[in-house]
A and B are shown apart, each in its own frame.
Chain A
Amino acid sequence: MDFAFTQEQNIFRDQVIRFAKKEIVPRVPEHDLNGAFDFHSFGRLGEFGILGLHFPEALGGSDADVVTTVMAGEALGEAGVDGGLSLAYGAHTFLCADTILSHGTPAQKERYIPRLASGEWIGCMGLTEPGAGSDVASMSTRAERRGDQYRLNGNKMFITNGPVADVAVVYAKTGRDLGHAGISAFIVEKGTPGFSAGKNIEKMGVRTSHTSELIFEDCEIPEENLIGPEGGGFLMALQTVEWDRSALLAPFVGGMSYVLSKAVRYARERYQFGRPISEFQAVKHKLADIKIFVEAARSLCYRIAWCKDQGRPLNHLEAAVAKLFVGDWGLSPANDAMIIFGGYGYCHEYEVERAFRDSRLAPIGGGTSDIQKKIISKLI
């Protein structure tokens, strides 16, 4: 058993932190408060190589392993990148591009992966519907085969990057009575007649990521846009949500480390009753609890990454455990950090309230905590 990163990984981690601190973090507060998608920062993530880190070099990526990829996500959070941009990156790279990379045809990979890796195009993934969340089999979006085309009808809900995406991986039923086996995945490009995105849904946190409905009204796409075999979509969705429960958790854990550093600095500088508040036991205990959470959560994320690097594409238990812990046990440290800052913590300027707002998504997005408990209890 070995928890060490390689020297190259450590160097890369430092590079990511330096890059993010210099180029992205200064832009975060304004975009967060305005609820604006930061196209410039997203593009810079592509130029720096983050968006396609684990893609093959031949397709514009860097051939990185999953541990390095997760590490980059954690480094973004640790630098102070907000949950919104991290979520936009995750939806783009893991939920959209990785599905095409893992299951797409050579032609699909050639057309989409380089553009997604560079950030020239933005991707999203449409699985959830107004009436179907974790119960994927109950989805009502249909893809009806008509000659060499599929006609899509239905709505997708809470789609991260929906309003800004150039390309979407969309799940729809191709077989009415087949349950999970009737779900297929398709690529739909922006501008395709019958395909539109709703307006950005204003959210409590992760505000720099834009979320919307996707609407399909007799949207006809060529059969070449089917990903993998007809009926193979459910397995793809399972693999996709596992990224949700590993790589997408890492920026959150890194973000808690960022908040911890800020809280430590503030506690050192803030004087009350003639001494820094860091000397009060109640404050020290809160700092310790945040530290314990960060250290406990980190290994859970890297364990899934390591499993993937060992060639295990599905790691349901490990992923559900990580998602449940980070989601549910992460709420308290985010709250503690805000309380250390007192009244200032409630103000936008000090950023901890943003971390508090962002943390509220962790037990909800990518399968709620209750869904993770359901998965775990079935596997026990």
Chain B
Amino acid sequence: MNFDFGHREKAFQEKIRALFSDTRAEPLMGWGEESMSALRRESLTWLNRLAHTGYLSLALEDEPYGPATVAAQQLLAAVSPALYVCAETSARIFGRLMNAYGSPQLRSQVLPAIRHGEAMGTVALSEPGFHETRADMGTVGSTTSEGFRVSGEKPQVMNAPIADWIAVAGTVDNTDAAAFFLVSRHDQGLFMGQKSPPLGCEDLPMCAVTLEDCRVDPAYVMGPMDGREVFTEVRIWENQVLAAGALGLMQRALDTAVSHAKRHQSGGKPLIAYQEVGFKLAEMLTLLQTAQLLVYRAAWMWETGGPEAQELAYCAKVFSTESAEEVASKALHILGQTGFAHKNPAEGAYRNAKYLQVSGTASALSRMKIADGLLKNR
């Protein structure tokens, strides 16, 4: 048992911190004000910087996803939730999918640019009525003499407006067999929807993706395969990203609240001197540290192939993302009007926490899966 990171892992974390040490503005803030091409340029600039630390290669090379990756993820998510989601969608979800299921040729064509931050990817999985335990999907790839023609609609795909590659999940010829169809941003038959104003994550490039008879060469198809297995796996990768992101979100909200509570005076003493405030901060720190250890342990069990790896991943997702909302809510109470102002880290965290809960495997469904595991194994 060891609750500390090794020298190499700590040195890596320092590299991430150093990357943002002299950055005054938060990277990728305000996509609403920027054109898509400007946002794409800025995203690639930051991804490229991140790539130099090795961040984008985590869980894509020799070492599997584990606690060291979570610690790095928390650091980035605390600095910039938008850059975090952009980088994780590209490297940890799209990259891992390519790494696990792409052909050697496809991997060598696509993955180096993803790891170096020179290209971005995303995975379009969910659609109305979709459930990862069933293979049926509205998006279908029909076999033709030249390959596949893919049609379907995917709502709210992260990174979609700026990604170079989109791995679109669908079924093959209306059978139970599933596949990921890799389409490029310039492919004919691929259409990007309008951005719909979300509750949170407004800095994120997210929109609907529609495919209408989009031609895909067989060399760009991962599958056919058992959809239930691979969709569940991708969902767990998403859940890992969301759970670790929630840690960063909590850290950011807590840091903002602590700083305010120490600086802001009321009745001749700093806010933190009041039990109402100090005790809230104590509860926030308790939730953060507890969630952190749970997410670390879930990642460790995933890395080591423990018997309850899936259940623990769901536990970590629920606890971390729900704690994030609680921590953000307490931060708002401490910050008062300051926290309520648009773009304050606390109000952003409060709204983004909801996204973390409902994305991936939503809290209610995660609880069902945890209980199913208990009923099966105890």
| Distance A289 CA – B367 CA, assembled complex (angstroms) | 7
Q: Could you say which of A166-174, A176-184, A208-216, A262-270 contacts chain B? A: A262-270
CB 8 Å contact bits of B1-17 with A (1 = contact, 0 = none): 11111000100000000
Question: Are B319 and A299 neighbours in the complex by a CB distance under 8 Å?
Answer: no
A380 contacts the other chain (CB 8 A) = yes
- Cross-chain contact of A1 among B2, B283, B318 (Cβ < 8 A): B2
- Closest partner residue, chain A, to B262 (CB atom): A380
With both chains docked as a complex, state the minimum distance between the C-beta of A213 and any C-beta of chain B, in angstroms. 30
- Cross-chain contact of A373 among B279, B368, B371 (Cβ < 8 A): B279
A241 contacts the other chain (CB 8 A) = no
B207 contacts the other chain (CB 8 A) = no
A111 contacts the other chain (CB 8 A) = no
| Distance A265 CA – B66 CA, assembled complex (angstroms) | 33
Question: Are B281 and A380 neighbours in the complex by a CB distance under 8 Å?
Answer: yes
A67 contacts the other chain (CB 8 A) = yes
B174 contacts the other chain (CB 8 A) = no
Q: What chain B residues lie within 8 Å of A320 (beta carbons)?
A: 282
| Distance A370 CA – B278 CA, assembled complex (angstroms) | 11
| Distance A168 CA – B311 CA, assembled complex (angstroms) | 45
A376 contacts the other chain (CB 8 A) = yes
| Distance A306 CA – B1 CA, assembled complex (angstroms) | 7
Contacts A303-B3, A321-B289 given: A264-B282 contact, CB under 8 Å? no
Question: Are B375 and A1 neighbours in the complex by a CB distance under 8 Å?
Answer: no
Question: Are B300 and A1 neighbours in the complex by a CB distance under 8 Å?
Answer: yes
Q: What chain A residues lie within 8 Å of B291 (beta carbons)?
A: 296
Question: Are B368 and A376 neighbours in the complex by a CB distance under 8 Å?
Answer: no
B297 contacts the other chain (CB 8 A) = yes
CB 8 Å contact bits of B248-288 with A (1 = contact, 0 = none): 00000000001000000000000010010011011101110
Q: Which of A361-380 contact B (CB under 8 A)?
A: 370, 372-378, 380
The count of residues in chain A whose C-beta lies closer than 8 Å to any C-beta of chain B is 45
B199 contacts the other chain (CB 8 A) = no
| Distance A377 CA – B281 CA, assembled complex (angstroms) | 6
- Cross-chain contact of B278 among A285, A302, A321, A374 (Cβ < 8 A): A374
CB 8 Å contact bits of A1-27 with B (1 = contact, 0 = none): 111110000000000000000000000
A260 contacts the other chain (CB 8 A) = yes
A235 contacts the other chain (CB 8 A) = no
Q: What chain A residues lie within 8 Å of B28 (beta carbons)?
A: none
| Distance A360 CA – B297 CA, assembled complex (angstroms) | 28
Question: Are A278 and B279 neighbours in the complex by a CB distance under 8 Å?
Answer: no
Question: Are A288 and B367 neighbours in the complex by a CB distance under 8 Å?
Answer: yes
With both chains docked as a complex, state the minimum distance between the C-beta of B247 and any C-beta of chain A, in angstroms. 13
The count of residues in chain B whose C-beta lies closer than 8 Å to any C-beta of chain A is 45
Q: What chain B residues lie within 8 Å of A295 (beta carbons)?
A: 294, 297, 312, 315
A324 contacts the other chain (CB 8 A) = yes
- Cross-chain contact of A299 among B279, B285, B293, B364 (Cβ < 8 A): B293
Question: Are B367 and A285 neighbours in the complex by a CB distance under 8 Å?
Answer: yes
Q: Which of B5, B9, B297, B372 has the most CB of A within 10 A?
A: B297
Q: What chain B residues lie within 8 Å of A264 (beta carbons)?
A: 374-375, 378
B304 contacts the other chain (CB 8 A) = yes
Question: Are B368 and A288 neighbours in the complex by a CB distance under 8 Å?
Answer: yes
CB 8 Å contact bits of B208-236 with A (1 = contact, 0 = none): 00000000000000000000000000000
| Distance A284 CA – B278 CA, assembled complex (angstroms) | 36
Contacts A299-B293, A299-B294 given: A292-B375 contact, CB under 8 Å? no
Question: With contacts defined as CB atoms under 8 Å apart, how many contacts are there between chain A and chain B in the complex?
Answer: 135
With both chains docked as a complex, state the minimum distance between the C-beta of A270 and any C-beta of chain B, in angstroms. 13
Q: What chain B residues lie within 8 Å of A284 (beta carbons)?
A: 367-368, 371-372, 375
Question: Are A374 and B319 neighbours in the complex by a CB distance under 8 Å?
Answer: no
Q: Which of A30-58 contact B (CB under 8 A)?
A: none
B324 contacts the other chain (CB 8 A) = no
Contacts A299-B294, A324-B283, A376-B286 given: A4-B304 contact, CB under 8 Å? yes
B67 contacts the other chain (CB 8 A) = yes
| Distance A4 CA – B67 CA, assembled complex (angstroms) | 13
Q: What chain B residues lie within 8 Å of A302 (beta carbons)?
A: 1, 3
| Distance A15 CA – B79 CA, assembled complex (angstroms) | 47
Q: What chain B residues lie within 8 Å of A325 (beta carbons)?
A: 286-287, 290
B190 contacts the other chain (CB 8 A) = no
Q: What chain A residues lie within 8 Å of B282 (beta carbons)?
A: 320, 324, 372-377, 380
| Distance A378 CA – B277 CA, assembled complex (angstroms) | 11
- Cross-chain contact of A261 among B294, B300, B378 (Cβ < 8 A): B378
Question: Are A1 and B294 neighbours in the complex by a CB distance under 8 Å?
Answer: no
| Distance A78 CA – B224 CA, assembled complex (angstroms) | 45
Contacts A260-B374, A306-B2 given: A300-B318 contact, CB under 8 Å? no
B370 contacts the other chain (CB 8 A) = yes
With both chains docked as a complex, state the minimum distance between the C-beta of B173 and any C-beta of chain A, in angstroms. 35
Q: What chain A residues lie within 8 Å of B375 (beta carbons)?
A: 264, 267-268, 278, 284, 287
A132 contacts the other chain (CB 8 A) = no
Q: What chain A residues lie within 8 Å of B44 (beta carbons)?
A: none
| Distance A282 CA – B378 CA, assembled complex (angstroms) | 19
Q: Which of A284, A306, A325, A377 has the most CB of B within 10 A?
A: A377
| Distance A325 CA – B283 CA, assembled complex (angstroms) | 8
Q: What chain A residues lie within 8 Å of B279 (beta carbons)?
A: 370, 373-374, 377
Q: Which of A246-260 contact B (CB under 8 A)?
A: 260
| Distance A306 CA – B366 CA, assembled complex (angstroms) | 31
Q: What chain B residues lie within 8 Å of A299 (beta carbons)?
A: 290, 293-294, 296-297
A307 contacts the other chain (CB 8 A) = yes
CB 8 Å contact bits of A318-343 with B (1 = contact, 0 = none): 00110011000100000000000000
A109 contacts the other chain (CB 8 A) = no
Q: What chain B residues lie within 8 Å of A3 (beta carbons)?
A: 1, 296-297, 300-301
Q: What chain A residues lie within 8 Å of B66 (beta carbons)?
A: 1
Q: What chain A residues lie within 8 Å of B371 (beta carbons)?
A: 278, 283-285, 287-288, 291
B166 contacts the other chain (CB 8 A) = no
Closest 6 pairs (CB-CB, A-B) = A377-B278, A284-B371, A376-B282, A288-B367, A299-B293, A373-B282
Q: Which residues on A are within 8 Å of B, measured CB to CB?
A: 1-5, 67, 260-261, 264-265, 267-268, 278, 281, 283-285, 287-289, 291-292, 295-297, 299-300, 302-303, 306-307, 320-321, 324-325, 329, 370, 372-378, 380
A sample of 7 inter-chain contacts (CB < 8 A) reads A1-B3, A283-B371, A284-B368, A291-B374, A297-B290, A321-B286, A373-B283
Known pairs A288-B315, A376-B281 / 5 extra A-B pairs, C-beta < 8 Å: A278-B375, A285-B367, A295-B297, A329-B290, A374-B279
